Structure formats: structure tokens, C-alpha cells
Structure 1
Amino acid sequence: MDSRSIQRFIVDGYGPLAISGVPEYGRLLFIHGAGAGQASMFMRHFVARVASQGVQVLTIDLPYMQQMNELGRRRPPPPIKHTLVQACAWYELLLPLGPTPLWVGGKSMGGRIATMLASSELASSELASPEVQLTSTDIVANSPEGEALVGRIECPGVIVAGYPFHPPKQPNKLRLAHFPGITAPMLILQGERDPFGSVDDVAGYSLPSNVQLKWLQDGDHDLKPRRASGLKHAVLIDEAATSAASFVRAHHKESWQAVP
């Protein structure tokens, strides 16, 4: 299997899984956003570029996205408590199947899920909010294995493309309460004009020291620049992917030590 190859599977009880590249420096479970699955242009481009640089990338479609693909029409994602449980089940399934540590990350909503999985303060912060309301009963009922899977996962690092710091035009509804519970190194790849958190918005936040921000010039939530900027969308995605792969490589040795 070379860095350009993609292996595709249907995992019984879970759904489609694609594995891109070889795990020279690590593996990354990269979860899709709310409105587009692993086959979207952004996901395919970003994943291919990361995988070409020694980081194996695993992508999935969550159950609601599988239904979207089957029915051929859009639908909103379920409450995040359900996607959180499903993503955690995938992580626990994939963790022992490779020779290198498994990072977690995602695009937009997928990135938010990744940060929640990696946080030890989830139960006392966002899980207690009306938006989530996740109980131990929910965890058992929604887990494919019937086990209590949600809690902090011991991942070596987190990669996020387009973190939804807040809903568009609602800058006071921040989604940062669980960040202090993330001890692993985290990289956020963010467009300067992202309506979910622009460069001006984020400048006012107090982020933990383990969180590194990479700003993509004139990019929106999909890292797409305005035509007048003279920049190319593909170039910005390449830049983001290269930063992601470099971040994993930079933490390669410590990630082996961090995972039991």
C-alpha cells in the first residue's frame, strides 16, 4: 500500500470506512462536517494531501450521512450527543488496528466532535448543557457494542479544519468550555474570514497553550478565498494539509509515549 492508495471497506454495524496512505508517522481519524461526508471535495483533497506525507488518514460516514447518501437529499445531523457516541465507537474500533498512535480530528462539526472526545472536562461542561444532555443511559443505548464508550479518549493529538467556535452571527455562544480538558497537542486550521470564528473573533479568546492556530489567508469556513484575493482554493487546502501532516510528524515521538 503506497501513500496514494485508498482502501475502502463496509464495516458491519458501523458503515463505510476509507483508509488513505501509510502510517509512517501516525494515523488520523478525520470526521466529516455536518453537511457533507467523506466524499466531499474538501475531504477528498485534504485527506489525499495529508496521506501523501506519511500520515495515514481514516475517514467514515456517520449514520445520518449514510442516510443522506442513500436517499439523495440533505438532512440535518442528529443532536451532537448521538454523533459523539458514534464517533467514539469508531475510534475505539480503529485504535488497536494499526501500528501507530491514532490521532482524532475533523472538519467543522467533525472537528468539534474530535475536541469533545479528547477532553476530560466534557461531562462537567458541554455534556451538562441543554444542547448535549448526554447520560450514561444514552451512552449504552447508542453504542454499537452496548458499552459506555464516551469519556476521554487517550488520543495523541487533535487536528481540526474550520473549528466552529460559535454559530454564524452568534459570537457570544462560544464552544470552548471543554478546551481546558484537552491535554494533547491540537492544531486548528482556520480561514481568516470563517463566519464560525474569524481571525478578529478568535483574537479575543484565551486558548490553552497546547492549541496552535494556523490561519489560511482570506479563507472562509471551507478555506475558500474570494476571487479578488488572487488566491486559489486548492492551494489553501494544500497549505492546510501540509501543516496538519507536519504537526503530526513534529509530535511523532511524544505521541508514542503518550499512548499506553
Structure 2
Amino acid sequence: MTPTGHQTSSYDADGVVAELSRPAGDPRGVVVLAHGAGGNRHAVILRAIAAELCDRGLVVARVDLPYRQRRPKGPPSPSTAAADRDGIVAACAAFRGESAGPLIVGGHSYGGRQASMAVATDADLADGLLLTSYPLHPPGKPERLRTEHLPSITTPTVVVHGSTDPFGTTAEMADAVALIAGPTRVVEIEKVGHDLKPDRKPTAELTADAVVGFLLTDGGRR
């Protein structure tokens, strides 16, 4: 999923482990993406989105969160979530210098949630936030909403959501996004669940279009 003209290299320094994709020519911005609870930086959804964003002139860093650096398999522990957020902050610091343009941070499911919490704590961390399949609540437990920090997010945000995602219905997601203090745009992918099926649906293309059209052009220039 690395089109001709992209340069991809591995990065491992100061606790940050990533695959870095650079477009041909001067980049217009940087995107730092973190994986979901069961994945790593090589996840299909991250590779697909990275390829599309790189096509549009963005440097993309797909990072392994600290818990994944410690062990190759298994879910994260709530007790180490703060360390995962610290890892996202470190990745933003490591790659911000790749471009004079905006820096966008985010990720899929768990990775996006941790990025959103980091941005809620420090609005200067990034110029835009990208959340794919935000895990609004555990499947079948809509009363356990993960929304406490959303009103503290002032960063322009793109949310990509599958219409059949068991982690949140379309209506539930709309209510949650309305809590975000900053400008938002929602991209709904029809008839897909939490994995967003980037191999069967135009998920990556629609995500990249929203990042460029909203975070870089409309909402992301603060």
C-alpha cells in the first residue's frame, strides 16, 4: 500500500517506534497515527489511510504505542494508558519537524481515544485530530460512555465512523461529537463495522479527503 513516489522508512529512537512515509516534494503537513487495541503500526487500516494521505502530500508516521513495544500481542492495560498517551506526545514531538505545515494526530479505536485524551489535556499538541472508529462504549454496554474528556477538545476534529459499529451507533456518535468544543466533521462509512473495511470500501479515500478538506483547509489552520 505504498504507491510509487512515496519513501517509507522505519524509525526507532527515544522510545518512539514508527513507520514513516514521506511524499515526493515538500510535504504540506504531518500526520501521526496510533493503532487499535489489538493491532500495531502495520494494521491494514493505518496503512491504507497513510497511503492516501501521503498521496495528498502529507508525511505520515504510523506508531507503535508503548504497550505494543513491550509485547507483540495482547490488549493494552488501563493501568498503562497514561504511558500510551505519553508515547503519542513523544511521537508528535519527534515528527513535527518533518514539515512546516500543520501536525495532525489521531488513530484507530484505542489509539484515537488516547490521542483525543492527549489533545484534550494539551491543545497545543496538534493542529488537528483524526479519529477512526472511536470506541464510544464497549459493545453492548451503551451506559459506559467514554465521553468525559470530549468537551475539553478544542482542536478541529474529523471522526470516521462505520454505520454498523457495535462500539457506537450513528445517533450515539452524533451526540458524542456534539460534545467536542472545537469544530468537527463526521464521515460515515455505510454498512461497515469497527474495522471500517478499507479493502472493500473507500474508507481511506474519504478519510484523506476529510483531512485535507477540513483539517488542512477549513478547520485546521488556527
Unaligned ranges ≥5, structure 2: none
Q: In the TM superposition, what is the alpha-carbon distance from 1:235 to its structure 2 partner? A: 3.5
One-letter amino acid matched to 2:164 = R
Q: Mark the CA change 1:53 to 1:253 in structure 2 (over 3 Å): closer, same or farther.
A: closer
Q: In the TM superposition, what is the alpha-carbon distance from 1:242 to its structure 2 partner? A: 2.0
| Equivalent in the alignment of 2:163 | 192
Provide the secondary structure at the position in 2 that maps to 1:153.
helix
Cα distance in 1 for residues equivalent to 2:206 and 2:179 = 19
- The higher radius of gyration belongs to 1
Q: Mark the CA change 1:182 to 1:171 in structure 2 (over 3 Å): closer, same or farther.
A: same
Q: TM-score, normalised by structure 2?
A: 0.84
Residue number among 143, 152, 173 corresponding to 1:202 in the alignment: 173
| Equivalent in the alignment of 1:252 | 216
- Identify the range of structure 1 (212-221 vs 97-106) with the bigger mean alpha-carbon deviation: 97-106
Cα distance in 1 for residues equivalent to 2:136 and 2:129 = 15
Render the CA deviation track for 1:163-215: whole Å, top value 9, x for unaligned: 01111111111112222222221111111111111224335544446222111
Cα distance in 2 for residues equivalent to 1:62 and 1:198 = 27
* Structure 1 residue ranges, 4+ long, deviating more than 6 angstroms after superposition: none
Cα distance in 1 for residues equivalent to 2:140 and 2:220 = 41
Residue number among 197, 217, 229 corresponding to 2:190 in the alignment: 217
Residue number among 163, 185, 194 corresponding to 2:134 in the alignment: 163
Residue number among 31, 34, 37 corresponding to 1:31 in the alignment: 34
| Equivalent in the alignment of 1:7 | 9
More strand by share: 2
Q: Mark the CA change 1:106 to 1:164 in structure 2 (over 3 Å): closer, same or farther.
A: same
| Equivalent in the alignment of 2:59 | 56
Share of identical aligned residues, percent? 27
| Equivalent in the alignment of 1:177 | 148
Cα distance in 2 for residues equivalent to 1:42 and 1:248 = 15
Cα distance in 1 for residues equivalent to 2:99 and 2:28 = 12
CA contact 1:3–1:54 (8 Å) conserved in 2: no
CA RMSD of aligned residues (A): 2.4
Provide the secondary structure at the position in 2 that maps to 1:234.
coil
Q: In the TM superposition, what is the alpha-carbon distance from 1:66 to its structure 2 partner? A: 2.1
Cα distance in 1 for residues equivalent to 2:189 and 2:219 = 26
Cα distance in 2 for residues equivalent to 1:192 and 1:257 = 29
One-letter amino acid matched to 1:101 = P
Unaligned ranges ≥5, structure 1: 123-150, 225-232
CA contact 2:132–2:160 (8 Å) conserved in 1: yes
- Give the total of aligned pairs: 213
- Identify the range of structure 1 (245-254 vs 24-33) with the bigger mean alpha-carbon deviation: 245-254
CA contact 2:18–2:41 (8 Å) conserved in 1: no
Q: TM-score, normalised by structure 1?
A: 0.73
| Equivalent in the alignment of 2:43 | 40
Does 2:216 match 1:243? no
